[in-house]
């Protein structure tokens, strides 16, 4: 098992990465009756995709001995 996600009420969840103990809080966005005080679940999916893309680029750049440290991606909500 990788993580455990608990619904905390008020449209908030808490996900815990079991190996490290790191936690992520999500809130529904304000346009969906949430507090908007943390990443929304959909924000987190889009952000995870950007993180995945940069990680894959990092793996390949390491193989090619190219330094891409500082490379960034921006995730934009078009809603």
CA–CA separation, 3 vs 15, rounded Å? 7
Domain count for the chain, please give it: 1
- Output the domain CATH number for residue 48: 3.30.300.20
| Residue 71 is assigned to a structural domain of this protein | no
Residue 56: which residues within 8 A CB-CB, separation 6 or more?
none
| Residue 69 is assigned to a structural domain of this protein | no
| Residue 29 is assigned to a structural domain of this protein | yes
Q: Has residue 77 got a pLDDT over 90?
A: no
Domain extent, residue 21, equals 3-63
Q: Give the predicted TM-score (pTM) of the model.
A: 0.85
| Residue 68 is assigned to a structural domain of this protein | no
Nearest to 47 by CA among 17, 19, 76: 76
What is the per-residue pLDDT across 18-41, written as a single tens digit (0 to 9) for each?
Answer: 999 999 999 999 999 999 999 999
| Residue 49 is assigned to a structural domain of this protein | yes
Bigger pLDDT: 76 vs 78 = 76
| Residue 25 is assigned to a structural domain of this protein | yes
Mean pLDDT of 2-27: 98
What is the per-residue pLDDT across 37-57, written as a single tens digit (0 to 9) for each?
Answer: 999 999 999 999 999 999 999
CA–CA separation, 25 vs 28, rounded Å? 10
Structure tokens at 29: 């966005």
């Amino acid at each position: 098992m990788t993580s455990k996600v608990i619904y905390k009420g008020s449209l908030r969840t808490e996900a815990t990465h079991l190996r490290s103990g790191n936690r992520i809080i999500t809130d529904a966005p304000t346009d969906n009756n949430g507090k908007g005080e943390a990443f929304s679940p959909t924000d987190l999916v889009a952000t995870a995709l950007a993180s995945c893309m940069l990680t894959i680029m990092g793996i390949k750049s390491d193989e090619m001995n190219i330094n891409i440290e500082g490379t960034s991606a921006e995730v934009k909500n078009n809603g």
